[in-house]
Amino acid sequence: MARSRERGRFIRRSLEIIEKVGNALPHPATIFGLMAVAAILFSGLGALLNWSAVHPGTGETIVPVNLVSIEGLHHILQDMVVNFTSFAPLGTVLVAMLGIGISEGSGLIGSGLRLMVITAPRHLLTFVIVLAGVFSNAASEIGYVLLVPLGAIIFLAVGRHPIAGLAAAFAGVSGGYSANLVLGTIDPLLAGLSQEAAQILIPGYQVNAACNWYFMAASTFLIAGAGTWVTERIVAPRLGEYTGDEKPEELRDLTPEELRGLRYALFTLIAITLVLLAGTVPAGGFLRNPETGSLLHSPFLEGIVALIFIIFGLCGVAYGIGAGTYRNDKDVMKGMSKAMETLALYMVLVFFASQFVAFFRMSNLGLIFAVKGAEVLAALNLPTILLMVTFVVMSGFVNLFMGSASAKWAIMAPVFIPMLILLNISPEFTQVAYRIGDSTTNIIAPMMSYFALIVAFVERYDEKAGIGTVIATMLPYTIAFLIIWTILLIVWMALGIPVGPGATLYLPEGILAGVTGGM
């Protein structure tokens, strides 16, 4: 017992040091601005020192693009506005928040949360939030915008620290990004890259989009349980009691008007659901891919943010009419505009973050760093299990510098899939190992597209918070997820269970013999 208490104090002290060091840094927007300047300067240094790397897929030599030049200056000046307006998360956040603003302004979200808090068992609340975060990644990246702030609101409503609820939701949404019971938009994207890499050695090799489904489905409740444990045993005790200015939703019984508004919203949601089912369930549904008839790359999945806006908007209006909180269109517009007010800090952060990401990509520094890191791992010549574990850690480390899962895999797959094929390891299993590392460090990676938004959410409840607060709060989740997911990977290898439909861990002997015999 004494040893356990001492270990708990050590963890808390370590996280406090990380938080203090991180918060001693300048404002996050300033940091992103300085990083943008650093990317420009390093591009010049790299060009001066003749840094280079060979792209493993195309064989093309990658060299830094010197931004410390007249041509580089032209790019910086001409692209600055486009860098900001085309930053991928920006449109997602704005459109989704408009719909959420309608629901929040009408009182739908407050009443719904109050009903959930009143009726839900308190001991399952954290688990449900983390699990909902894991499920949300099937719907693109809407979990960052919707569930993360809701986790904070729910925890505050039940008298707990809101940042603990925010952290639990963020851990599920981002740390559990590669776990789910259903396929998401990332699955076919990664599978296509894995297939191209496999065909370097095995012409005609096919990798299906569901190739990791068994492993990811098994990971779902494991990650939800681990996230719950970290929240309850480490994060919540460290945060203690909330003493900030944000006021919780009042946990009073719902009034007859609010209950009528919820019924109106429920009927509206049922009607929308029936329309969506009619468009997705039949083979020729109008929301399926018109060319293939599949839900993958379909208007349904690719338009999920627009659907979120429509669903929350219509349900919010229905609630407002039923509860009497919306009497005309001006009330609706006020709800939308109020939601935009809460994003002021996020807009500032995004401006500087978008410039840094653009300069880093434009300079080719991200590609060079990723390729060189991949080459180091390929040269280690480790035993199979140790190699796979090292590959997981390597993927997580690279994720700190390149936020896009598909961009990293486009670089790493052509190196590691052929190499591991020669060790009899299937491309599908290699992809699983990559996804573990990619997911676990999302929540501590400032390069992650939505990191600035998370910082803004945290600052709502703690004005003194910064990047250090977020990293210190989320680091225990990263460590726990990395350990548990790696153990699951090793167990999976020991048992020889397929990672997905038709996706074994090891290649058939005939295929491997054909590859080695032809080299």
**Could you identify the residue written with the tokens 């599908």?**
428
- Residue 110 to residue 265: CA distance in whole angstroms: 13
330-347: per-residue pLDDT in tens?
999 998 888 787 677 778
What pLDDT is stored for residue 372 in this prediction? 76
Number of neighbouring beta carbons within 10 Å of residue 77: 9
**Could you identify the residue written with the tokens 């460590």?**
479
Worst-scoring range by mean pLDDT, 171-175, 462-466, 487-491? 462-466
3-state class (DSSP) for residue 424: coil
**157 falls in which pLDDT band (50, 70, 90)?**
confident
> Which two structure tokens, joined as six digits, stand for 6?
């001492």
Mean pLDDT in residue range 29-41 = 86
Mean pLDDT in residue range 142-165 = 84
**140 falls in which pLDDT band (50, 70, 90)?**
low
Per-domain residue ranges for the chain? 2-517
**14 falls in which pLDDT band (50, 70, 90)?**
low
> Which two structure tokens, joined as six digits, stand for 213?
């489904």
17-33: per-residue pLDDT in tens?
655 665 566 776 787 78
Percentage of the chain with pLDDT > 90? 29
* DSSP conformation class of 503: B
Give me the torsion for CA of 309, 455, 187, 369, rounded to 10°. Answer: 140
How buried is 518 (Cβ within 10 angstroms: 0-12 exposed, 13-18 middle, 19+ buried)?
exposed
- Residue 213 to residue 444: CA distance in whole angstroms: 26
What pLDDT is stored for residue 516 in this prediction? 44
What pLDDT is stored for residue 356 in this prediction? 81
> Which two structure tokens, joined as six digits, stand for 262?
């919820």
- Residue 112 to residue 117: CA distance in whole angstroms: 9
85-137: per-residue pLDDT in tens?
887 667 777 887 788 788 888 988 778 766 765 676 778 889 988 988 888 77
What pLDDT is stored for residue 296 in this prediction? 64
Q: Across all residues in the chain, what is the average pLDDT?
A: 82
* DSSP conformation class of 69: S
Nearest to residue 335, comparing CAs of 361, 359, 317, 357? 317
What pLDDT is stored for residue 227 in this prediction? 95
**Could you identify the residue written with the tokens 């959930």?**
116
- Residue 340 to residue 349: CA distance in whole angstroms: 15
Check whether 427 has a pLDDT greater than 80.
Answer: yes
> Where would I find the beta strands (DSSP E) of 90-166?
none
What pLDDT is stored for residue 518 in this prediction? 39
Sort strands 61-62 and 53-54 into parallel, antiparallel or unpaired.
Answer: antiparallel
Number of neighbouring beta carbons within 10 Å of residue 207: 26
- Whether the CB-CB separation of 206 and 511 falls below 8 Å is answered with no
- Residue 313 to residue 319: CA distance in whole angstroms: 10
pTM above 0.75, yes or no: no
What pLDDT is stored for residue 176 in this prediction? 84
What pLDDT is stored for residue 517 in this prediction? 40
What pLDDT is stored for residue 15 in this prediction? 55
Backbone angles phi, psi at 399, to 5 degrees: -60, -25
345-370: per-residue pLDDT in tens?
778 878 887 888 788 878 888 677 76
> Which two structure tokens, joined as six digits, stand for 466?
């910064």
Cα 262–Cα 310–Cα 165 angle in degrees, nearest 5:
65
Q: DSSP for 359-388, please give it.
A: HHHHTTHHHHHHHHHHHHHHTS---HHHHH
271-325: per-residue pLDDT in tens?
999 999 999 889 888 999 888 887 766 788 778 778 888 998 999 999 999 999 9
Mean pLDDT in residue range 52-67 = 81
